[in-house]
Homo-oligomer: A and B are copies of this chain.
Amino acid sequence: MLSLFTDQIRVELKTGIDIVDISDRINRLIGRAGIESGSVHATVIGSTGSVTTIEYERGVIEDLKRAINRIAPPDIPYEHEKAWHDGNGHSHVQAAMIGPSIVLQIRDARLQIGTWQQVVIINHDNRPRERKIDISIIGEKSE
C-alpha cells in the first residue's frame, strides 16, 4: 500500500550564486512521513533556482560556482536585458541548464546518498531569494 506525503521546504539564499545543503531537512521530512521505502521528488519553484547533489565542501562549492559562471557568464550581453533590464539573464540560463528537479531514494527510512554527497539548492539570481522547494514523498510505510 503506497502513501503520499507532501510538504514545502523554504530556504533563505544570498545573492547568487549561493548554494545550501538541504539533506538533513529532507531526512526530517522522510521521518515525519513515516516512509520506509520509496522516492523523494523535489522541484524548485521559480526560474532562477536549481537543485542537484555535490559534496558540500567549501572548495568544490566554489569550483561549481565558477563552472556555472563559465557556461552562462554574468558579464556578457543577454537578450533578456532588452526586455527587463534586471541584470539576471545569466541567472535564468544557468538555472535552466542545471535543472529544477531531482529524484532521490528512500531505503530503511533514510535518504540514500553517498557519504560525500549532499542535496543542494542553488540560487542563481542577482539578489537574495527565499527559495521554495515542493516535495512529494511516495512509498511504503513501515509495518
Contact = CB atoms under 8 A, between A and B. Distances in A.
Interface of A: 2-4, 6, 37-39, 41-43, 45-47, 52-55, 57-60, 62-64, 67-68, 70-72, 78-84, 89-90, 92-93, 95-105, 107, 112-114, 116-118, 120, 134-136, 138-140
A101 B112 CA distance: 12
Contact of A64 (B64, B93, B138): B93
A55 B90 CA distance: 12
A46 B114 contact: yes
A100 B101 CA distance: 11
B103 A79 contact: no
A2 B138 contact: yes
Given A2-B4, A4-B140, A63-B92, A47 B53 contact: yes
Give the oligomeric copy count: 3
Contacts of A60: 78-80, 89, 92-93
B59 A78 contact: yes
Contacts of A112: 43, 45, 134
Contacts of A39: 41, 136, 138
A116 to B, nearest CB: 5
Contact of A103 (B90, B98, B102, B107): B102
